[in-house]
Amino acid sequence: MRPMSGDTTEGHSDAAISRKVRRLETLLEEKGVLTGTQLDEALDAFLAGASPASGARVTARAWVDADFKSRLLTDGTAAVRELGYMEGAEQRLRVVENTESTHNVIVCTLCSCYPLRLLGPSPSWYKSEAYRSRVVREPRAVLEEFGLRLPDTTDITVWDSSAETRYMVLPRRPEGTAGLTEEELAALVTRNALIGTAAL
């Protein structure tokens, strides 16, 4: 799905980033800091635990454990570490809760800062210039392009991630799920809901 329109710079931007990454890899190898194989192994190890399933498990725990939810909304970094996520991460995690009257959505207007360890690799649209610029100016219209139509009475708050702070949305628990286990609840959570471009 490509919900953003009018973004003609995405391919060029990706190509520029790829060139910079390749140049950095070459410099690391030339200086003897890392071999290509060591770099690949380090990246594979870093990404091994990076999945939206992690954020889904955090969400499900918050839905069934009020004390954990309170800690999560107060200090997201410490709360997710209780579950073994974000160990060693230098960024602060802030979790923002969707309610009946408020909907949250995250973006990184400067680049593509993102809670990778909880949500997995970011989708291409999250990094696109169209999403990064438009969701701040016209969030309701952008969300509608994702198929999310919110009542006019719902306040939409856009949270801008940075190098220091990452955000994750705590979606509203779907109705009719009172009898589900924590594992079954986690299976209902989508990456887009954790970003705020979808509801459950």
Residue 73 belongs to domain with CATH number: 3.90.330.10
How many structural domains compose the chain? 1
Domain for residue 148, yes or no?
yes
Of residues 108, 124, 128, 161, which has the active-site annotation? 108
Per residue in 114-141, pLDDT tens?
Answer: 888 899 888 989 999 999 999 999 999 9
When the pLDDT of each residue in the chain is averaged and rounded to a whole number, the result is 85
CA distances in angstroms from 120 to 31, 44, 139, 175, listed in the order given: 30, 12, 23, 27
The one catalytic residue among 112, 128, 133, 162 = 112
Residues 62, 170: contact at Cβ < 8 Å?
yes
The proportion of the chain whose per-residue pLDDT surpasses 70, expressed as a percent, equals 80
The catalytic residue among 5, 13, 111, 128 is: 111
Question: For residue 30, what pLDDT is reported?
Answer: 82
Reported residue count of the chain is: 200
In a domain, 3, yes or no: no
Cβ–Cβ under 8 Å, residues 170 and 115:
no
Domain containing 130 equals: 35-195
Q: Would residue 29 count as lying in a domain?
A: no
Residue 5 lies in a domain: no
Does some domain include residue 20?
Answer: no
The pLDDT value recorded for residue 122 is 87
**Is residue 16 included in any domain, yes or no?**
no
Q: Does 12 map to a domain?
A: no
